[in-house]
């Protein structure tokens, strides 16, 4: 089987639940994994909104292994492996391979503005360390600086479309996605990564899947199905409330706050604990607006 044949569709990035003391709540994480799969997820991802930058190395390794166990072969799991040095990334890659990841995803180092040849060598080392696919994540919508389209295309040309996939998040999202598609003669397999706000536009530009947060999974799955079916009316009925909710999530910490609020609202999480220091706190007006929009989305989902 082609190693990328299962890497398509809706791959939510799960949220990390905590006990009130800040320790990882694994029973709730199991409930989240089961719920995401029951809601129609094609795969699971451990990445930025899983708070990977706020976990210790030991916590990150254990959670990666536990999530692969929790998925229990029901869907592929993608694990984030990026690091601030080649050595850190390679250790993460080898661990991800050993615990059963279907693919790995790597952001560049975020503490330095590495030159292109250094970034190419960084990704080259990751690809050469494993036989599973590597998703190149330009996470500059949250951290770091954008990677050039030419360097990303060079990676694909060097290693092939079955070894290198992409999750471009540099702005402007749509034009850069099309540039990457065109620079690789349409070979690039691209996941959309805007939480759903640009899913409709990105789908029309030729993505193979989306990696949203966990909180809107029912809406995102329904929207993705509507896009596949070409149901224009339902596409916009679903995408408008989804986009409005995601528009409230203007930073990584805003994503964490809103998503955990909605996961509690849906009975998946027990609390909204995010590890500090935090750069954003939900106020009551934002909560009220998110709740109104979420109610609108549910109304659409309940209407055939």
Prediction pTM value: 0.95
Rounded to 5 degrees, what angle do the CA atoms 68, 58, 98 make? Answer: 40
108 by DSSP, 3-state: which? coil
The radius of gyration computed from the CA coordinates of the chain, to the nearest angstrom, equals: 18
Cα separation, 72 vs 276, in Å, equals 31
Count of helices and strands (H, E) across the chain: 11, 8
Q: What does the pLDDT read at residue 114?
A: 78
Q: Residue 12 and residue 63: Cα distance in Å, rounded?
A: 16
Please confirm whether the linkage preceding 172 is cis (ω < 30° from 0).
yes
In 10 A of CB 157, how many CB atoms? Answer: 14
Separation of alpha carbons 34 and 71, rounded Å: 8
List, edge to edge, every strand of the sheet that includes 164-168: 44-46, 77-80, 103-106, 134-138, 164-168
pLDDT of residue 142: 62
- pLDDT (0 to 100) of residue 141: 62
Domains and CATH numbers, the chain: 9-232 (3.20.20.70)
Tens-digit pLDDT string for the chain (304 aa): 555 678 999 999 999 999 999 999 999 999 999 999 999 999 999 999 999 989 999 999 999 999 999 999 999 999 999 999 999 999 999 999 999 999 999 999 888 777 889 999 999 999 999 999 999 999 876 666 789 999 999 999 999 999 999 999 998 999 999 999 999 999 999 999 999 999 999 999 999 999 999 999 999 999 999 999 999 999 999 999 999 999 999 888 999 999 999 999 999 999 999 999 999 999 999 999 999 999 999 999 998 7
Is residue 96 within 8 Å of 68, Cβ to Cβ? no
H helices of the chain, in order, are 26-38, 57-71, 86-99, 116-129, 149-159, 173-183, 199-204, 217-229, 232-247, 252-265, 284-301
- Given this model, what pLDDT does residue 144 score? 67
What residues contact 235, with CB distance under 8 A and at least 6 apart?
A: 200, 223, 226, 227
| Beta strands 209-210 and 191-192, pairing class | parallel
Q: Which two tokens stand for residue 210?
A: 């989306």
Q: How many whole angstroms separate alpha carbon 258 and alpha carbon 122?
A: 33
Residue 280: partners with Cβ closer than 8 Å, 6 or more residues away: 251, 253, 254, 256, 257
């Amino acid at each position: 089987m082609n190693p990328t044949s299962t890497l398509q569709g809706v791959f939510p990035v799960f949220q990390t639940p905590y006990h009130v003391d800040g320790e990882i709540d694994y029973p709730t994480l199991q409930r989240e994994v089961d719920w995401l799969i029951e809601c129609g997820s094609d795969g699971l991802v451990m990445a930025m909104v899983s708070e990977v930058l706020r976990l210790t190395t030991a916590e990150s390794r254990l959670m990666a292994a536990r999530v692969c166990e929790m998925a229990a072969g029901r869907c592929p799991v993608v694990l984030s492996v990026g690091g601030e040095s080649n050595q850190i990334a390679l250790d993460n890659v080898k661990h991800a391979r050993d615990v059963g990841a279907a693919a790995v995803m790597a952001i560049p180092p975020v503490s330095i503005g590495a030159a292109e040849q250094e970034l190419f060598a960084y990704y080259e080392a990751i690809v050469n360390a494993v036989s599973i696919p590597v998703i190149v994540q330009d996470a500059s919508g949250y951290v770091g600086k954008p990677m050039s389209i030419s360097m990303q295309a060079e990676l694909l040309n060097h290693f092939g479309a079955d070894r290198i996939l992409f999750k471009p998040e540099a702005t402007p999202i749509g034009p850069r996605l099309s540039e990457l598609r065109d620079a690789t003669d349409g070979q690039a397999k691209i996941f959309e990564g805007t939480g759903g706000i640009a899913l409709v536009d990105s789908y029309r530009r030729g993505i193979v899947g989306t990696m949203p947060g966990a909180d809107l999974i029912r809406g995102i799955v329904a929207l993705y199905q509507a896009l596949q079916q070409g149901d224009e009316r339902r596409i916009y009925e679903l995408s408008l409330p989804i986009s409005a909710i995601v528009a409230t999530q203007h930073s990584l910490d805003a994503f964490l706050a809103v998503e955990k609020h909605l996961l509690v609202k849906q009975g998946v999480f027990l609390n909204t604990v995010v590890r500090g220091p935090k750069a954003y706190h939900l106020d009551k007006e934002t909560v009220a607006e998110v709740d109104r929009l979420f109610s609108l989305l549910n109304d659409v989902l309940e209407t055939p």
